[in-house]
């Protein structure tokens, strides 16, 4: 913070209520009276001493000074620039900003009622949130807080369930595993999309218990799915389960011990579990590398999800050892219409194959996309063409009847 000092004599006014505020003050020495109302009839709100800060409210949200400040003995004050405060406010979490904005409004209302009602009609505060879209923005933040609180309850009330989407092995022409995808059936909201609520869970520590639940349930499901599959396909390899892991889960001290325990408890092998992480994890630096290596050392497979979106950098593939790469659905969706996307998709698959990393293509909806991907020597595929994500009961039927791949595709 840039600081500048100023001295005030006893009785001298620092600022008056209603003025615009361009800085806050830290009291280095002396005492300050904060009061409201005119000089003939002042109402003292508080006395402040060494080490305390005042004049911050108008700097935080651009409103006029909510009270006057006067030195009641000789004072030395350090000026805190408005930029030093606003930069921090602007970069704060929207929920924190909303809470501060509400507190400031309440504080001003309380001050006004202390003097028997509004003396100065203050303009609407410029607002901490209002400058970014007003009421709509506030409602968005409140909605996020509501969902966060409901998510906690959802875990206790068993409102989550998992759906499983088959992943096909294009080379062997059969199912090879599933991806576990969480669903939230809220009693008040109905089905909520995971990209909405998991995004909120990821911003908070809620991702940790929800993530644990996903690991336990998907490992248990894999046990029964694999058992059912092996009854009709005794010669085939075991099925695998892909589980989405958010970077924040790795920060939990118990993550690895819980993962190991849950897999052992379910009675499946670590090699049957693919942990899907997105490229975002690489932004976390060396700790991400350590986490990925530790998973692989424990025998888990690690897949790089949503490859080609956002932070893709080919250098990651050289630095980080991954067992498979999932080409994002956006490529599959437009590769047949857009020549450049076609070339890029082909190049990603060729490059991964060259590095010995099998590719899973996501979001295959039509037969032509499937054929093209086979031509590109893409090893695995997942999409509505084969099956949407389905509940465990349906997934059990799916593995019993899915003999060969052509049948599955034709049936859809």
Residues at the contact surface with ligand C2E, assessed by CB under 6 A: 165, 180-182, 193-195, 198, 214, 244, 246, 305-306, 329, 362-365, 382-384, 389
Q: Does 370 bind ligand CMP (CB under 6 A)?
A: no
Contacted entry of ligand C2E, ligand CMP, Ca ion, none for residue 247, CB cut-off 5 to 8 Å set by kind: none
Among residues 372, 333, 373, the alpha carbon closest in space to that of 352 is found at 373
d(CA 161, CA 217): 9
Give me the helix-helix angle, 207-232 and 255-266, nearest 10°: 30
Which stretch of DSSP H or E encloses residue 3? Answer: strand 3-8
Q: Does 115 bind ligand CMP (CB under 6 A)?
A: no
Contacted entry of ligand C2E, Ca ion, ligand CMP, none for residue 150, CB cut-off 5 to 8 Å set by kind: none
Q: Does 372 bind ligand CMP (CB under 6 A)?
A: no
Among residue numbers 298 through 337, which ones bind Ca ion (CB under 5 A)?
305-306
Pick the piece of the chain touching Ca ion (CB under 5 A) from 51-59, 164-172, 236-244, 384-392. 236-244
In angstroms, give the least distance from the CB of 241 to Ca ion: 12
If you count them, how many residues does the chain have?
A: 412
Q: Does 34 bind ligand CMP (CB under 6 A)?
A: yes
Q: Which is nearer to ligand CMP, 65 or 174 (CB)?
A: 65
In angstroms, give the least distance from the CB of 23 to ligand C2E: 44
d(CA 151, CA 141): 15
Among residues 72, 6, 21, 78, the alpha carbon closest in space to that of 42 is found at 72
Pick the piece of the chain touching Ca ion (CB under 5 A) from 18-26, 53-61, 237-245, 265-273. 237-245
Report residue 108 CA to chain centroid gap.
34
Which stretch of DSSP H or E encloses residue 194? Answer: helix 194-203
Q: What is the DSSP string of 209-227?
A: HHHHHHHHHHHHHHHHHHH
Rule CB under 6 A: choose which of 18, 31, 42, 56 binds ligand CMP.
56
In angstroms, give the least distance from the CB of 363 to Ca ion: 8
Sign of CA dihedral 334, 336, 340, 344: positive
Q: Does 101 bind ligand CMP (CB under 6 A)?
A: no
Among residues 155, 157, 160, the alpha carbon closest in space to that of 208 is found at 155
Q: 13: which 2 tokens?
A: 């006014």
Rule CB under 6 A: choose which of 23, 33, 71, 111 binds ligand CMP.
111
Q: Does 66 bind ligand CMP (CB under 6 A)?
A: yes
Give me the helix-helix angle, 194-203 and 134-156, nearest 10°: 90
Q: Does 8 bind ligand CMP (CB under 6 A)?
A: no
| Residues 6 or more apart whose Cβ sits within 8 Å of residue 139 | none
- In three-state secondary structure terms, 119 is coil
In angstroms, give the least distance from the CB of 64 to ligand CMP: 7
Q: Does 279 bind Ca ion (CB under 5 A)?
A: no
Q: Which is nearer to ligand CMP, 113 or 397 (CB)?
A: 113
In angstroms, give the least distance from the CB of 385 to ligand C2E: 7
Instruction: Decide if 127 contacts 101 (C-beta within 8 A).
Output: yes
Rule CB under 6 A: choose which of 14, 23, 57, 80 binds ligand CMP.
57
Q: Using CB under 5 A, list all residues that contact Ca ion.
A: 244, 276, 305-306
């Amino acid at each position: 913070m840039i600081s500048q000092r100023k001295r005030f004599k006893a009785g001298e006014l620092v600022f008056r209520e209603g003025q615009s505020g361009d800085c806050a003050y830290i009291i280095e020495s002396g005492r300050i009276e904060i009061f409201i109302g005119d000089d003939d009839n002042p109402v003292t709100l508080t006395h402040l001493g060494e080490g305390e800060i005042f004049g911050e409210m108008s700097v935080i949200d651009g409103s006029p000074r909510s009270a006057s400040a006067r030195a009641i003995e000789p004072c030395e004050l350090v000026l805190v620039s408005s930029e030093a405060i606003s930069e921090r406010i602007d970069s704060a979490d929207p929920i924190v900003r909303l809470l501060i904005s509400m507190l400031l409004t309440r504080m001003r209302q309380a001050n006004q009622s202390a003097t028997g009602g509004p003396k100065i009609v203050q303009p609407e505060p410029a607002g901490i949130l209002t400058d970014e879209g007003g009421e709509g923005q506030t409602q968005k933040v409140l909605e996020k807080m509501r969902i966060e609180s409901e998510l906690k309850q959802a875990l206790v009330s068993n409102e989550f369930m998992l759906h499983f989407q088959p992943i096909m092995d294009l080379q062997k022409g059969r199912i090879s595993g599933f991806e576990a995808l969480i669903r939230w059936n809220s009693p008040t909201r109905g089905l909520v999309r995971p990209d909405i609520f998991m995004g909120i869970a990821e911003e908070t520590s809620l991702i940790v218990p929800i993530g644990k639940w996903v690991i336990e349930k998907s490992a248990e499901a894999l046990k029964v799915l694999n058992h059912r599959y092996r009854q009709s396909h005794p010669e085939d390899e075991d099925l695998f389960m892909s589980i989405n892991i958010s970077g924040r889960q790795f920060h939990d001290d118990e993550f690895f011990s819980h993962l190991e325990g849950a897999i052992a408890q379910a009675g499946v092998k670590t090699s049957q579990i693919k942990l899907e992480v997105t490229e975002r994890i690489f932004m976390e630096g060396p700790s991400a590398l350590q986490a990925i290596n530790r998973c692989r050392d424990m025998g888990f497979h690690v897949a790089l999800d949503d490859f080609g979106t956002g932070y893709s950098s080919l250098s990651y593939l050289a630095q980080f050892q991954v067992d498979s790469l999932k080409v994002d659905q956006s490529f599959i969706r437009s590769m047949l219409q857009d020549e450049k996307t076609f070339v890029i998709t082909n190049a990603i698959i060729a490059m991964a194959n060259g590095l010995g990393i099998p590719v899973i293509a996501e979001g295959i909806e039509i037969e032509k996309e499937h054929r093209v991907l086979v031509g590109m020597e893409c090893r695995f595929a997942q999409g509505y063409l084969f099956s949407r994500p389905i509940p465990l009961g349906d997934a059990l039927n799916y593995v019993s009847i899915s003999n060969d791949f052509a049948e599955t595709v034709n049936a859809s």
